Amino acid sequence: MQEEDLWAQCVRWLEGELPDRDVHTWIRPLQPVFVRDRLTLLAPNRMVMDRVRQDFLDLIRRGIRVSGGRNISEVDVAVGTVEANRTAAPAVAESAGNNEDLLPTSAGKLNPDYTFVNFIEGKSNSHARAAAEHVVETPGGTYNPLLIYGSSGLGKTHLMHAVGNAIQRGSQRARVVYVGAEQWMNQFTSAIRHGRMDEFKNLYRSVDALLIDDIHFFAHKERTQEEFFHTFNALIDGRKQIVLTSDRYPKDVDGIDERLKSRFTWGLAVAVEPPDLETRVAILLAKADQNKVALPKEVALFVAQRVRSNVRELEGALLRLSASSRLRGEAMTVEFARATLKDMLAAYERMVTIDNIKRTVANYYNIRVTDLNSPRRTRSLARPRQVAMALAKELTQHSLPEIGEAFGKDHTTVLHACRKIAELREGEVKYREDYENLQRQLGF
Ligand SMILES: Nc1ncnc2c1ncn2[C@@H]1O[C@H](COP(=O)(O)OP(=O)(O)OP(=O)(O)O)[C@@H](O)[C@H]1O
């Protein structure tokens, strides 16, 4: 059996064993990588990795066995992603628990494919991209540190590497170090254990550009934060560039020291948002082109209309399409895409109904679903209602009048709600965060 089919079969088996929600939230985001008798499941972030390890790994192992994968002797989970153009080589961003990692020689390598040229620009990421390009022109200048924040799979790491690659190209001698926050912490603890703190400090304080991914990981790690605080100060004082990524605006990350939080936003903190439809189509077409996959525009549109949560999932969909079309020798039509991505699309469609949105929003704001339908206009109800309407417009295929009807309002009220929420998200971090949290809870 093809390895890809083995995983697909295992997922089908798991569907019979687990609630839909668990399959959608924890199992589907995993990307299988088979190397000989070993299966590594790449999780999009640490949270997924930890949860899968804790609650689902045994069941997954059973699923692999009953799906005919008896030759697979080891199954594990790591954080990482399969790059579309290197199917067999997983870029494992951080492998948890490897405390023996030491010093920057073992820091992550810059990914040469993560360049500005390969980064598709859209409304959702143009600020972040412009800021990143500015940093390349004047490293250690005004945008120091540059902090890029936003949900998973939206190109933060890509942009960070693009900065590193460009600085490196500009000066071969520049010492650019990229490292995940977790790896940095492991190196730090390892340096303490082995009495190599001087070496650790010297190395990290002598770089020209330090790129640290996922700094939200520093939350509640006081000693690591303390050490990072000193590294940070030394680099900023020396006018060396720092680039950071985080899954949230730093002020909203609990468990990070206030001094550090404020330093994170000394330079520029810039968000990447989920890409709009046009950008999703452009990304799919560009990735297809890079990988020499003949992807018709209408298929790109079909996929982009449905796979909306993040770019990594778009890449996953493209990978599946190109692998199956090659394997089966079938042309890439919309029908073919519909059949090949059936599971993935079903999960999306199942998740997002207006009722589901109402339930999720009501739960988030601690109000009752019936409050969302009531004509009362108090702010505490009106805002969640507007948020629910805006989510319904963005995440479902329903028209404005249909959404209006579901809330007992007319379509102009829905339109007004969408505009109002867009404006609030633009202007206030709190609204942006609430909206993104809700999108995430709804599977986007
Ligand atoms: N605008 C874009 N153009 C081209 N590729 C993109 C774009 N945005 C994201 N990608 C691709 O999507 C994948 C995921 O992006 P990346 O790893 O940078 O996300 P991230 O925001 O760092 O996510 P995480 O927080 O989970 O680490 C990468 O392969 C990246 O190349």
Examine the domain organization and report whether 20 and 75 are in the same domain: yes
Examine the domain organization and report whether 176 and 309 are in the same domain: no
Cα(40) to centroid of ligand 1, in Å?
20
CATH number at residue 387: 1.10.1750.10
Tell me, yes or no, whether 87 lies in a domain.
no
Examine the domain organization and report whether 259 and 406 are in the same domain: no
CATH number at residue 229: 3.40.50.300
Q: Whose CA is nearest to atom 10 of ligand 1?
A: 155
Examine the domain organization and report whether 232 and 148 are in the same domain: yes
Interhelix angle 277-290/297-306, nearest 10 degrees: 130
Domain boundary among 333, 350, 367: 350
Q: Is 156 annotated as belonging to a binding site? A: yes
Domain boundary among 49, 82, 115: 82
Any bridge partners for residue 38, and if so which? 35, 74
Tell me, yes or no, whether 239 lies in a domain.
yes
Cα(81) to centroid of ligand 1, in Å?
10
Q: Is 180 in the pocket of ligand 1 (CB under 6 A)?
A: no
The whole-number pLDDT of residue 351 equals 62
pLDDT per residue as tens digits for the range 52-79: 998 899 999 999 998 888 888 889 888 7
Q: Where residue 100 falls among pLDDT bands split at 50, 70, 90?
A: very low
Examine the domain organization and report whether 117 and 266 are in the same domain: yes
Q: Is 45 in the pocket of ligand 1 (CB under 6 A)?
A: yes
Tell me, yes or no, whether 123 lies in a domain.
yes
Place of tokens 């790449």: 42
The whole-number pLDDT of residue 90 equals 32
The whole-number pLDDT of residue 102 equals 44
Q: Is 31 in the pocket of ligand 1 (CB under 6 A)?
A: no
Examine the domain organization and report whether 60 and 202 are in the same domain: no
Q: Where residue 46 falls among pLDDT bands split at 50, 70, 90?
A: confident
Examine the domain organization and report whether 257 and 357 are in the same domain: no
pLDDT per residue as tens digits for the range 145-170: 999 999 889 999 999 999 999 999 99
Q: Is 390 in the pocket of ligand 1 (CB under 6 A)?
A: no
Distance of CA 130 to CAs 149, 192, 397, Å? Answer: 14, 39, 32
CB atoms near residue 362 (< 10 Å): 18
The token pair at 160 is: 């960070």
Collapsed DSSP state (helix, strand, coil) of residue 94:
strand
The whole-number pLDDT of residue 318 equals 94
Any bridge partners for residue 176, and if so which? 209
- List b or e across 413-422, with b for residues whose CB sees 16 or more CB atoms inside 10 angstroms: bbeebbebbe
Any bridge partners for residue 82, and if so which? 90
The token pair at 171 is: 């000066």
- List b or e across 248-276, with b for residues whose CB sees 16 or more CB atoms inside 10 angstroms: bbbebbeebeeebeebbeebbbbbbbbbe
Q: Is 124 in the pocket of ligand 1 (CB under 6 A)?
A: no
Cα(362) to centroid of ligand 1, in Å?
31
Domain boundary among 330, 350, 370: 350
Examine the domain organization and report whether 96 and 72 are in the same domain: no
Cα(225) to centroid of ligand 1, in Å?
26
Interhelix angle 311-328/342-351, nearest 10 degrees: 150
The whole-number pLDDT of residue 224 equals 95
CATH number at residue 72: 3.30.300.180
Cα(200) to centroid of ligand 1, in Å?
30
The whole-number pLDDT of residue 38 equals 84
How far is the C-alpha of 52 from the C-alpha of 409, rounded, in Å? 42
The token pair at 11 is: 């997922």
Query: Shortest CA distance to 268 belongs to which of 163, 339, 387?
Result: 163
Examine the domain organization and report whether 264 and 133 are in the same domain: yes
Examine the domain organization and report whether 242 and 148 are in the same domain: yes
Q: Whose CA is nearest to atom 18 of ligand 1?
A: 155
How far is the C-alpha of 395 from the C-alpha of 276, rounded, in Å? 11
Q: Is 187 in the pocket of ligand 1 (CB under 6 A)?
A: no
Report the nearest atom of ligand 1 relative to the CA of 148. 21
How far is the C-alpha of 46 from the C-alpha of 26, rounded, in Å? 12
Q: What residues make up the domain containing 313?
A: 277-350
Query: Shortest CA distance to 433 belongs to which of 417, 442, 424?
Result: 424
CB 85 within 8 A of CB 291: yes
Over residues 311-335, mean pLDDT: 92
Examine the domain organization and report whether 143 and 289 are in the same domain: no
Examine the domain organization and report whether 127 and 211 are in the same domain: yes
CB-count burial class (<10 Å; 0-12, 13-18, 19+) for 105: exposed
How far is the C-alpha of 337 from the C-alpha of 294, rounded, in Å? 13
Report whether pLDDT(339) > 80.
yes
Report the nearest atom of ligand 1 relative to the CA of 122. 1
CB 164 within 8 A of CB 209: yes
How far is the C-alpha of 227 from the C-alpha of 206, rounded, in Å? 15
CB 362 within 8 A of CB 368: yes
Report whether pLDDT(340) > 90.
yes
pTM over 0.80? The answer is: no
Count of domains for the chain:
4
CATH number at residue 337: 1.10.8.60
pLDDT per residue as tens digits for the range 182-229: 999 999 999 999 888 998 998 898 899 999 999 999 999 999 999 999
Cα(388) to centroid of ligand 1, in Å?
27
Any bridge partners for residue 241, and if so which? 209
The whole-number pLDDT of residue 396 equals 82
Q: Is 352 in the pocket of ligand 1 (CB under 6 A)?
A: no
Q: Is 29 in the pocket of ligand 1 (CB under 6 A)?
A: no
Report the nearest atom of ligand 1 relative to the CA of 279. 1
